Amino acid sequence: MTQRRNTSQRAIITQLLAGTDEFVSAQHLHAALRTSGSTVGLATVYRALQEMATGGDLDVVRNETGEVLYRQCEQPSHHHHLVCRTCGLTQEVAAPGVEKWARAVAEQYGYVDLDHQVELFGVCAGCAAKRA
């Protein structure tokens, strides 16, 4: 049985994530921590983020360059994202029908252990206005 220990590093990482509702990369988070005086190691940041993500405490997304982004997840229920491809503004959205559809399709083809990736990209109202 694995049990999590409370360390100052994890506390500060959790705290920093709680302070924002935007997606951040492990690298960015690490840089921010070092800048503010902490001596946390990069590996520790990665390990903490992974742990929190698999524990369901963080939302995980990948940006266009393949970098992994994390954000504290406000909604306990499963949901997806609508991301502005210009400024990164993100809305959490529910996809009621999608889950059911995914299950039906998987069953039809005999696939099990299903997971799905559903993300919407667009340009938010603000950015669209500036573009005009």
Partner DNA sequence: TTACTTGCAAACGGTTTGCATCGAG
Partner DNA sequence: CTCGATGCAAACCGTTTGCAAGTAA
Residues in contact with a copy of itself by CB under 8 A are 62, 64, 66, 68, 82, 84-85, 91, 93, 95, 97-98, 101-102, 105-106, 109-125, 128
Give the pair of three-digit tokens for residue 42. Answer: 């990069």
Which among DNA, a copy of itself, none contacts residue 21 (Cβ within 5 to 8 A by kind)?
none
In the complex, minimum distance from the CB of residue 35 to DNA, in angstroms, rounded to a whole number: 14
Give the pair of three-digit tokens for residue 10. Answer: 């994890």
- CB contact burial 4-35 (16+ within 10 A = b; e otherwise): eeeeebbeebbebbeeeeebbbbeebbeebee
Exactly one of 15, 36, 65, 117 binds DNA (CB under 7 A); which one? 65
Give the pair of three-digit tokens for residue 95. Answer: 């996809």
**How far is the C-alpha of 17 from the C-alpha of 71, rounded, in Å?**
7
CB 39 within 8 Å of CB 18: no
Binding status of residue 31 toward DNA by CB under 7 A? no
In the complex, minimum distance from the CB of residue 53 to a copy of itself, in angstroms, rounded to a whole number: 13
Give the pair of three-digit tokens for residue 6. Answer: 């409370």
In the complex, minimum distance from the CB of residue 55 to DNA, in angstroms, rounded to a whole number: 11
Q: Which residues bind DNA (CB under 7 A)?
A: 2-10, 25-27, 39-44, 46-48, 50, 65-68
